[in-house]
Chain A
Amino acid sequence: MAAQIQQTPNFSQRLRSLLLSQEGILFLILVVATIVLSSFNPNFLAINNLLNQARLLCEVGLVALPMTYIIITGGIDLSVGSILGLCAILLGIFWKAGVPLGLTIVLVLIVGIFAGAFNALFIVWLDVPPLIMTLATLALYRGMAQGISQARSVRGYPEWFYIFGQENVLGLPTQLWFFIIGIIISAIVLARTTLGRALYAIGNNVVGARFSGLRVSRALVIIYSFSGFMAALAAVVFVSRVTTTRSDMGSGLELDAIAAVVLGGTSIMGGKGTILGTVIGLLLIQLLKYGLQLLGVTGDATIIVIGSVLIVTVLLNNLIQRRRGVT
């Protein structure tokens, strides 16, 4: 896609390419949406409302970070919603069985890592396409959650547990801290480490990456395990926020996360994408949901808008990329 002759771009060229990047387009949409929605309702920008919205965004946000990695490598992880469901159920089951809650949380996070690593096992060593493997575990993990729980829910956690989902630390919702730390670490790893750069190489040309001596298998095992871990962390936050566990928790979460990642400019074909894009994608989706809700549009109508925005931005991006590729 890049221009044939690489010259040092001057300022206006840089600005142009920044504005025409998917992140740039999205950022403009984000600004316009904010202005329009806040002009309809002055409460839109009230800080408490925004923080509350941020709270709601974190569960999808946490899994969207590793999802960005995975999609950059040309893979996909459909099982994150089910890992969340399974981990939530196990949290309840272990706790009811008398395991101290602190230990339970650690155990659940380990289960998440193993659930992700199990995906990687088949994808890396048996060469199963990620779509198929994670489709299988989407069903398997959700089925385990349902089978283990038998549709019973677990309630009555100790008071301190609610800090993860309902309370604030230093003025911000606790889970928002998890998310912010997650963003910073993921962004640095992706942009500044060998592992991060290897992900792009894998997405562009996996055979080439292997022949260049990159440790492809290790990278894939790490990112799928990371995905499982983040889904488990999201499960802890989710259970803490809604104070109960149910086996259908997190169903459809994978689609929300993928939508945010793709909206953020990560190519579903792999090789291209940033954490910043994903974060803007997440913000845009949550802002649209919230803004339309303030306008009295029901939650179900907002998913039409989100679906349309997803298709239209990818379409726009395609057209711009193609035009730039031609000229």
Chain B
Amino acid sequence: MTASASSPRRWLRYFANQETAVLLFLILLAVVVGSINPRFLASRNVSDILQGNAYIAIAAIGMTIVIITGNIDISVGSLVGLLAVIAGRIATSGAPPLVAWLAPLFFGALVGAFIGYLVAYLKIPSIVVTLGMLSILKGFLIIWTAGSRVEDMPPNFFLAQWDWFGIPVPIFLMVVLTIIAALWMRYSGVGRSFYAVGGNPEAARLSGISQQRVVLQAFILNGVFVGVASTLYATQLSVIQATPPPSLELFIITSAVVGGVSILGGKGTVIGAVLAAILLNAIRSSMVFVNVSPFWIQAVQGILILVTVLIDLIRRRREMF
């Protein structure tokens, strides 16, 4: 991270952290695709990319926290689907929109607390718990809705279509939440304890940090971020689907990993994950502009993880010598 500036291979320094690497790649993508097809950089398209996918970036913040503690949550896709329908049902029942917007946060935290309790206190590995929850939440969603989507929400429900201070609400929330989460993770005691528990559980324990409480907190927080994501997802279109968004959890975990969050815990930043979520969506959108069939998107996503892994490998080798 502190490679000397006089190094002949100074450019490598920019890849010293994954956040910068992702940002540079994002700029490179914008320049290359923009020069092939200038419409890619039209403010309308850029705004569409950011606005339509901000909820994924916000969910990636929660995932980052969970992964930093050395855990994982593969049930988020199902949870987003369920929480979005909860918001929609509350709105159509005639309750004030504020209640409908906040309900996903509450229920998200509740589910997060349940998962966190099973993982932290009953010692079931998070991948097993969330594998089970993935089925339970999805099954519950499909039975509850009987497969029919939610429609006819009141017109003042569609938060994600509003502007705050001239900025679309999803982008506004994404930026604000990223900044708050990044500062909080870096400077607050609780934020630091996530890194401590994930990086070196034994040292964390010896310094008086309750690993169990920290893991529980991480899952509750994740639930809240997933709740915010669900509210945005529910309010962006005029219908809410009764099935969870396909492979959403994959997309969110990929964002965290490409953003430099180590699956082994203890390493990574919220900013990296959010930038990576934007990058993934920008790539998806760019494929249309350079005439590549969007059917290849998942392959690109896979290659991107492999590239991240290789860059990380080179970085570790360099640190060793």
Q: Which of B130-170 contact A (CB under 8 A)?
A: 131-136, 138-140, 142-143
Q: Is A7 an interface residue (CB 8 A)?
A: no
Contact of A143 among B74, B136, B297, B313 (CB under 8 A): B297
Q: How far is the CB of B219 from chain A (nearest CB, A)?
A: 14
Q: Interface with B: A17-25, A181-189, A202-210, A295-303, which one? A: A295-303
Given contacts A137-B302, A140-B302, A143-B299, contact A307 B257 (CB under 8 A): no
With both beta carbons as reference points, the residue of chain A lying nearest to B257 in the complex is identified as A132
Contact at A268–B305, with CB atoms within 8 Å? Answer: no
User: Per a CB cutoff under 8 Å, which of A147, A269, A310 touches B131?
Assistant: A310
**How many residues on chain B are close to A (CB under 8 Å)?**
43
CB pair A140 B299 closer than 8 Å? yes
Known: A139-B302, A147-B293, A255-B134. A300 touches B143 (CB 8 A): yes
Cross-chain contact of B139 among A139, A301, A311 (Cβ < 8 A): A301
Docked Cα-Cα span, A137 to B304, in Å, equals 11
Closest to B129 in A: A311
Contact count A vs B, C-beta below 8 Å:
131
A135 and B306 alpha carbons, distance in the complex (Å): 10
Name, among A122, A131, A298, A304, the residue most crowded by chain B CB atoms within 10 Å (CB to CB): A304
A136 CB–B CB distance under 8 Å: yes
Q: Assess the A128–B309 pair: CB atoms within 8 A.
A: yes
B123→A138 contact, CB < 8 A: no
B132 touches A311 (CB 8 A): yes
At the interface, yes or no: B303 with Cβ under 8 Å from chain A?
yes
- Interface SS, B side: helix
Taking a contact as CB atoms under 8 Å apart, the answer to whether A307 and B301 are in contact is no
- Please report whether the interface of chain A is mostly helix, strand, loop or mixed according to DSSP: helix
User: How many interface residues does A have (CB within 8 Å)?
Assistant: 46
Min C-beta distance of A280 to chain B, whole Å: 17
**A255-B131, A300-B139 as given contacts; A143 in contact with B309, CB under 8 Å:** no
Given the known inter-chain contacts A135-B253, A138-B302, A143-B301, please indicate yes or no for A314 contacting B128, CB distance below 8 A.
yes
CB distance from A100 to the nearest CB of B (A): 28
Q: Mark A290-322, 1 if CB is under 8 A from B, else 0.
A: 000000001011111011101100110010000
Report how far A127 CA is from B263 CA in the complex, Å.
13
Q: How far does the alpha carbon of A151 sit from the alpha carbon of B294 in the complex, in Å?
A: 11
Q: Which residues of A contact B (CB under 8 A)?
A: 76, 122, 126-129, 131-133, 135-144, 146-147, 149-151, 247, 251, 255, 258-259, 262, 268-269, 298, 300-304, 306-308, 310-311, 314-315, 318
Pairs A–B under 8 Å by Cβ, sample size 13:
A128-B313, A132-B257, A136-B309, A139-B254, A140-B302, A140-B303, A143-B301, A143-B302, A146-B299, A269-B125, A298-B143, A308-B136, A314-B124
